[in-house]
A and B are shown apart, each in its own frame.
Chain A
Amino acid sequence: MTGRGGWIGLLYLTPALLFVGAFVLYPLGQLVYLSLTSSSLLGGSEFIGLRNYIRAFTDQTFWHSLQFTIKYTVYITPILMGLGYLLALLTAGTGAIARFTRAVVFLPVVIGLGSSSLLWFWLFDQQVGLFNKLLQDLHIVSQPVVWFVDADVGLWAVIISVVWKVVGFGMILFVAAIQSVSPEINEAALIDGAGYWQRVRKVTLPLTYRTILLTTLISAIGSMLAFDQFYIMTSGGPKSETFTSVYWMYQNSFIYFKLGYGATLSIILMAIVFIAAAVQIALTRRGAVR
């Protein structure tokens, strides 16, 4: 059937192409136009050229939100990847304990980020939160920690909760990569008398390098788009210090009703993410050729 007429095949693609055209590409054009206007959700729209972009350039909160988002990404990505890889090494075996541990670590990945953020918001509470109680019972802290009055402490609270929620994501991808390392190579290293960590460093890590790279990119893009966890746990506070890029965009478009400016912020964010995604796809295609 591969030889059949192209137009029939195109017919099968049409619904999806129309959908993408109407709900991705058209809004994308609309977004560019909006970013050049002073559109407001309250009505009224004027073409103002690049004034929104100039305004973003001088918007302290925008710069701070971008900086904060990068800081969040730079902190959480190595933790997620490092812990994910260690957990993958721990659970890549085929024994019952390894499989069970793997299943449990992956479990929070399927629940909603909104739900998990609300769950941790409660765990972190200084009065009723059991995470604080656990820390006290383990004698790690003597007083309940007040997590959400300080931006830095709040950031770490969010990081802890998100690591719990998504560490299984990296782990499961790493497990698949580690398991596909040819047994013969490991065997050869084993016979050469290489120790466990030596084999990890010289055999497993290099052979799973591409997966590590791609997973890091996917994870970093995800972190750059963080919203739910901050909306729920810190509400951008204290003093607008924990607004992320998406959050500040949301705030401008849907709380201040400044759609034009919100669109401008979206475009800037998109440009940043686009570069990362392009790298990801380039890497994927190179891998497919191999």
Chain B
Amino acid sequence: MSRAPAHSPPAAAERSLAVAGLRTRSVADQGLLRVASGPARGRTRYLVGALSLAVVTLMLFPIVVSFLSSIKTPAEAAASPPGYLPSVLSIDNYLKVYQYQAGLPTYLFNSLAVAFFTIIFCLVLAVPAGYGLACFRIRAKEALFLVLLSGLMVPYQALLTPLYLMFTGLHLANTHIGLAVVHTILQLPFSVYLMRNSFEAVPRELEEAAVVDGCNSLQALWKIFLPAVRPAMVTVILFAFITSWNEFIGALIFMNKETQFTIPIMLVGVRQGHFGAIDWGALQAGVMIAIFPCLLIYLLLQKYYVSGFLSGALK
């Protein structure tokens, strides 16, 4: 693993150690570090630094200039040729988004309500399923597990047409619950997978203690297991939120009434502006509002996010 010390000995010392045959653990790690981050010697070290700086600049450029445009005056945001920096600071673009059609609070509420139900559905379905799969002997368990993962093999985009018919019949079109169901279809395989792994990782001793205490399976789940799998639940919640908040085509199809739009669909409307002219300033303010919660979550909960990402995508 990559537990290389942050302050590594200089290359010369390392070489002499290697020559002396004293290949300690830290030397091995040093070797990894070099493979990992390039030969950290002399000129190449500066090259790596310069490259990193260039990459960071390029990646941040779009978000930074979009933010700067969102705080320009509407006229300056629409100016051609454009400037990088605002000459006067203004919150007019944000006010415009705030007052757009049914008003930003309505759209924020829609997005949050859909995300909330998505989170609830994912937890209510995936936590027991993970528990059942990990802690019980079930006939044809792996086949049932595959059924639960079938959402991975069937792209949900293909299901949108029959789902739309079904939801129109059930009066679920244009409802928060309806769209949350679509988002749960999307998110359930990952959630079940993660919960199963997490329940399986609970130490056997804890399980046995529960049996000795005479807990039934529900009590054991509640008292012993849930506290132990809490990090996985946080990851499930996190991903359910981000998926739901960002999801586009489902929201576009199922929320076709203006008062029911979620934030991404509202944004497309904001771009249209009035009389066909694109309102560039308001659009950037809208983009900032849409990406803010995602960035905040990423910055605050990066550890959960990245680890969930790694365990879900490949293993």
Contacts and interface: CB of A to CB of B under 8 A. Distances in A.
Nearest to B195: A16
A228 interface: yes
Question: Which of B136, B159, B252, B291 has its CB near the most chain A CB atoms (within 10 A)?
Answer: B136
A118 B59 contact: no
A9 B129 CA distance: 9
A224 to B, nearest CB: 9
Contacts of A273: 153, 155, 158
Interface of A: 1-6, 8-13, 15-17, 19-20, 23-28, 30-31, 34, 39, 87, 89-98, 100-101, 103-108, 110-116, 118-123, 125, 127-131, 133-134, 164, 172-173, 176, 178-181, 183-184, 186-187, 190-191, 195-196, 199-200, 203-204, 211, 214-215, 218, 221, 225, 227-228, 231-232, 246, 249-250, 253-254, 259, 262-263, 266-267, 269-270, 273-274, 277-278, 281, 284, 288
B33 A128 contact: no
B131 interface: yes
Given A120-B62, A254-B253, A259 B36 contact: no
Contacts of B153: 273-274, 277-278, 281
Contacts of B247: 112
Nearest to B18: A191
Given A111-B295, A119-B287, A269-B155, A89 B267 contact: no
Interface string B249-274: 10011000000000010011001000
Interface of B: 1-4, 6, 18, 23, 27-29, 31-39, 48-49, 51-52, 55-56, 59-63, 65-66, 69, 77-82, 84, 121, 124-126, 128-129, 131-133, 135-139, 144, 147-148, 150-155, 157-166, 181, 184-185, 188, 192, 207, 210-211, 217, 220, 242, 245-249, 252-253, 264, 267-268, 271, 280, 283-284, 286-287, 290-291, 294-295, 297-298, 302, 305-306, 309-310, 313-315
A137 to B, nearest CB: 9
29 contacts: A1-B210, A6-B136, A11-B132, A12-B136, A13-B144, A15-B125, A16-B129, A16-B188, A23-B163, A31-B158, A90-B51, A93-B36, A105-B59, A110-B305, A112-B247, A119-B66, A120-B62, A125-B280, A128-B80, A128-B280, A164-B62, A180-B2, A187-B23, A187-B31, A211-B314, A214-B314, A266-B160, A269-B158, A273-B155
A133 B144 contact: no
A91 B205 CA distance: 39
Contacts of B6: 94-96
A210 to B, nearest CB: 9
A276 to B, nearest CB: 10
A209 to B, nearest CB: 13
A83 B310 CA distance: 19
Given A116-B291, A172-B306, 9 more contacts: A1-B210, A4-B135, A13-B128, A16-B129, A94-B36, A97-B49, A122-B283, A123-B62, A269-B155
A100 to B, nearest CB: 7
Contacts of B158: 31, 249, 266-267, 269-270, 273
A266 to B, nearest CB: 4
A6 B139 contact: yes
A228 B28 contact: no
Contacts of A269: 155, 157-158
Contacts, number: 343
B137 to A, nearest CB: 5
Question: Which of A128, A184, A221, A249 has its CB near the most chain B CB atoms (within 10 A)?
Answer: A128
B245 to A, nearest CB: 7
Given A90-B48, A108-B59, A183-B32, A115 B287 contact: yes
Given A20-B151, A118-B283, A263 B136 contact: no
A45 to B, nearest CB: 10
B15 to A, nearest CB: 10
Contacts of A93: 4, 33, 36-38
Contact of A110 (B32, B192, B298): B298
Contacts of B310: 172-173, 176
Nearest to B135: A1
A15 B51 contact: no
A16 B55 CA distance: 43
B153 to A, nearest CB: 5
B93 to A, nearest CB: 12
